[in-house]
Chain A
Amino acid sequence: MAMDVVDYEIFGNEMQYVEVELDPGEAAVGEAGVMMYMQDGIQMDTIFGDGSAQQSGLFGKLLGAGKRLLTGESLFTTIYHNEGSGKRRVAFAAPYPGKIVPVDLSTIGGTLICQKDSFLAAAKGVSLGIAFQKKIGVGLFGGEGFIMQKLDGDGMAFIHAGGTLLEKTLAPGETLRVDTGCVVAFQPSVDFDIQYAGKIKTALFGGEGLFFATLTGPGKVWLQSLPLSRMADRIVMASRVVQGGGGKESTSLLGGIGLGSLLGDDD
């Protein structure tokens, strides 16, 4: 098939950005704060919801808004549409070192479940839903695996994986056990479950959580070697060491006022 030569192009090695080419009238949806540049003729618009057909009704919009509020996401999405007469480009940049993964939703059955921080951009019409893992165990112990983003449609979507990307297709029944933070995305046919690591000792002294995710095929999974949370932890830890104990701690919860402060202050 020799149709459009270039619809998108990914630049860079460890700090990538993706350039998306829009035909006149075409549009892309981007997560807030990831746009890098756009050519003349591209208009930016902030809309309520995600601009997909699934959220067209008032109720659908409200439901979507409620979910987004609940999960701490922005109520609005930004749409970039080409108002010019020729092809125009807009670029979205990865927020931290890693790889940008282009996913053609039409080739994977129309639905992709991804971690909510990893979504970068998509063709307009792709619905950006919030999907809770409907397993309370995941909610309680899975941490990052609980609130996912569900991309529906048949266009391109771009997600971001921290560090190095592992793209793996699981055969029927094939199982992979991963740290929940390392799961970037998976097809809905993949079973996602939370498993107890089994050994308290491992949990206490191994440094990782008590629980990990089990992914069972068939279906494709995308894993990242560097979850943002892991990097953030290290940075916070390092900054504490540099500061030398973190400075003055606040007074204890219980020891606030006593006789001393009574005599010292005057209402």
Chain B
Amino acid sequence: MNDAPVPARYYPPSGDAHGHPALLRWEGGHLLVAPEDSDQLRISAASLRAEARGFNHSQWAIAWPGEGGEHLLIVADAAIAPLRATAPALFATGTHAQRKTHRRFGLGVTALILLPLLLIAGIFLAVEPLADRVVEHIPPSIEKQIGEAVLARTRLDSKLIEQGPALDALQLIGKRLARPGEDLRFYLAERPDINAFAAPGGVVVVYSGLMKQADSAEDVAGVLAHEIAHVELRHSLRQIVRSAGLRVIVSALFGDYGALGSWGAQLGELKFSRDAEREADARGLQRLAEAHIDPQGMLRFFETLARSENGAAAAVPTVFSTHPATAERIERLREALASHPAGTPQPIPVDWQAVRQALPDTRP
């Protein structure tokens, strides 16, 4: 038996709100209540009720009915142990309530912490499917706008070659590549980089460096067929939307495609997945076949570039920095060419040596 008295505050039924300090202890099935300033009370345990209450259930309210109403004792949880040890049943419900409070709070806090994390994770997971959905719904007029934006950006960055044998050659290649009714526009930018890209809306930009480096018109046609395939398959749009991120996606979902246009300006730097490259290769070969252009050019150009890449590390970006010509990819191209011999190609009638000489010397 623990007979150290427990400090409490006693509120008699008709008393004032302040209560009175009191000491409590058990005595043979009765609770002895000794208020500081009044007579001791002796209450049968059977008539007592106890519940946890107050701030975070940190207090106990022990009550019993009296003549003028209910008597009440308030005991701090920290002091309750001796009373509870003798009559655990009296405090069982309150103890349960206390545990529930703590457990609920723990769960609540965990949820509050986890919820934003889950939300963020969900958004990240949803970006790609969302991007794809946005891409599905982009109308041709927006593609045109993006194309115009890319062109405007290119004009800012570099001089466009407006005439001469190189441009004529490019237009000739372009005319061969375009399908009937297809609106493809080809531009030649004066830049040393071995680069070319196609933008949504049918804008194709070729850098003079690429034409200077290529061995034949068929080589250039091969690269362009591949680039156009990326646009056809909407790879470029998807990459733009994905890399532009949520903000652009959200505005696009609400019909504002303006932000997409500015991201389109980075088209030359877009990287595609390995699957996308394979798809674009296949689709490009198909286009070459339709145009009766010798598909060996595509393979040849990639092989040439792969070699020069390995040799002197080019200081300027090339199509290969964004469309890496892996050995695997070249191998697959070679197989495709072997298994589908492309009828009898009609050569592109261009004096390639003249084209190369007409272009400014790009190698520093």
Contacts and interface: CB of A to CB of B under 8 A. Distances in A.
Interface stretch (A88-96, A170-178, A194-202, A231-239): A170-178
Given A136-B105, A188-B59, A262-B153, A172 B261 contact: no
A17 interface: no
A198 B265 CA distance: 54
Interface stretch (B11-19, B81-89, B208-216, B356-364): B11-19
A256 interface: yes
Contact of B76 (A135, A188, A217, A254): A188
A103 to B, nearest CB: 15
Interface in A212-267: 217-219, 253-259, 261-263, 266
Contacts, number: 106
Nearest to B150: A262
Nearest to B19: A218
B233 interface: no
Interface stretch (A18-26, A36-44, A105-113, A156-164): A105-113
Contacts of B72: 172, 218
Contacts of A136: 104-105, 108-109, 112
Contact of B59 (A189, A256, A261): A189
B258 interface: yes
Interface string B85-111: 000000000000000011011001100
A188 B259 contact: no
B337 to A, nearest CB: 40
A139 B112 contact: yes
B259 A256 contact: yes
Interface in A106-139: 109-111, 113, 131-136, 139
Contact of B149 (A132, A186, A187, A262): A262
- Identify which of A111, A189, A192, A266 gathers the most chain B CB atoms within 10 Å of its CB: A189
Given A170-B17, A254-B251, A262 B262 contact: yes
Contacts of B112: 136, 139
Interface in B8-61: 9, 11, 16-19, 53-59, 61
B76 A257 contact: no
B152 A254 contact: no
Given A136-B104, A262-B261, A190 B55 contact: yes
Dominant SS among interface residues on chain A:
loop
B11 A172 contact: yes
B121 interface: no
Given A109-B9, A254-B250, A263-B152, A188 B108 contact: no
B285 interface: no
A169 interface: yes
Q: Which size bracket describes the interface of B in this complex?
A: 35 or more
Given A218-B74, A254-B256, A258-B262, A190 B108 contact: no
Given A253-B247, A254-B251, A110 B76 contact: yes
A258 B256 CA distance: 9
Contact of A174 (B17, B58, B149): B17
Contacts of A186: 55
B156 interface: yes
Contacts of A144: none
A254 B156 contact: no
Nearest to B105: A134
Contact of A134 (B59, B101, B256, B258): B101
Contacts of A104: none
Contacts of A191: 53-55
Q: Which 9 A-B pairs have the closest CB atoms?
A: A258-B258, A136-B108, A171-B17, A134-B105, A262-B262, A188-B55, A169-B17, A254-B251, A134-B56
Given A191-B54, A192-B55, A263-B152, 7 more contacts: A109-B76, A110-B76, A131-B56, A134-B102, A136-B112, A169-B17, A188-B59
Interface of B: 7, 9, 11, 16-19, 53-59, 61, 70, 72, 74, 76, 101-102, 104-105, 108-109, 112, 145, 149, 152-153, 156, 247, 250-251, 254, 256, 258-259, 261-262, 265
9 contacts: A135-B105, A187-B54, A190-B55, A191-B53, A191-B54, A253-B247, A254-B256, A262-B152, A263-B153
